[in-house]
Amino acid sequence: MLRIAILLLVFCGSLSAGEPEIETLSDSEFAFDINGSRISVEIRDRVLRGKKDMLLDWVLYSTKTVQHYYGRFPVKSVHIKLQVTGGHAVRFGQAFGGDSPFLRIVIGENITPEMLRKDWIMVHEMVHLAMADVPDEHRWWLEGLATYVESVARAQLGHLSEEFVWNGFINRMPHGLPKHGDRGLDLTPTWGRTYWGGAIFCMLADIEIRKLTENRLSLRDALRGVLDAGLSMHASSSAMQVFESADDAIGVDVLVPLYLKMKADPYPVDLEALWASLGVSLENDQVVYNDAAPLAHVRKKLLKS
């Protein structure tokens, strides 16, 4: 109940006169333009079409979340296919790149506004649009980045509380730590290392950038630089090229050195020590802050816009 209570996202029925106009192209196709990007949405199933206003608000909210984080929407156009399955939750998502990127999102036929308020999948898949395709051994970068940015971006717009995000990070990031026999991120394609190991990499990079620049810059600035360099999902790249572009954008070497440490070797991270240095902990599943911690100034800015 705590996790539901501290969610702050409210978007259904909240569109104002200043929002993009959603065009009805046919019974099953809709579209809107936002700052030069064209977002088209396909809803073929009759049951989902009956919930189209709620679903289109969710797509718009997600679009604005990603646009805010990156300074613009990552691609000029994307087609989103909403497909139905059983149940009452968003079940699955996939992002496809190339010249005509599109997303496929599978949604339970009994989806409710409450479930959409809690969903992370649409924003996660949209974050993929902002990163070049990389070889399979670097999939941890794509999935870890989307896992980390999804939470941070939603918090920065006030759609998730900071307590909700820190609770999730503290509880889930241990999944990304190397287990016995694991190697580096490039060489251990397990679920935990791919999603949460990649998220640990991103958080470490974010913290280090903020430390070196006295909180002037963050991972967000590095990722905006990667996007400016043309390395969106339209492109293919090596991970090293992406990290070099990111470091060039912020003028400090962070992602390349961190990648060299974590790509082949297990590189276990002492998460308990990291949380202590940031001044954040859990007591009875409640987030507690210590503003006297050495990196409390970084933690205070990490989830801010």
pLDDT of 12 strictly over 50: no
For 177-222, how does the pLDDT look when each residue is reduced to its tens digit (9 = 90+)?
999 999 999 999 999 999 999 999 999 999 999 999 999 999 999 9
How is residue 42 written in tokens?
């396909």
> Over the stretch 163-179, which tens digit does the pLDDT of each residue have?
999 999 999 999 999 99
Q: How far is CA 287 from CA 57, 102, 118, 130, in A?
A: 31, 37, 19, 31
Report the predicted TM-score, pTM, of the whole model to 2 decimal places: 0.92
Strands 102-108 and 77-85: parallel
CA 89 → CA 97, 143, 273, 295, distances in Å? 25, 21, 36, 37
Using the predicted structure, report yes or no on whether residue 10 has a pLDDT greater than 50: no
- Give per-residue pLDDT as tens, 21-57: 999 999 999 999 999 999 999 999 999 999 999 999 9
Distance CA 148, CA 46 (A): 34
Beta 29-34 vs 23-24: how paired, if at all?
A: antiparallel
For residue 236, the 8-state DSSP code is: B
What is the pLDDT at residue 289?
99
| Positions of E strands within 61-210 | 77-85, 90-96, 102-108
Domain ranges of the chain: 2-128, 137-302
Alpha-carbon span 293 to 88, nearest angstrom: 42
Residues 6+ apart with CB under 8 A from 78: 37, 38, 39, 40, 101, 102, 103, 126, 129
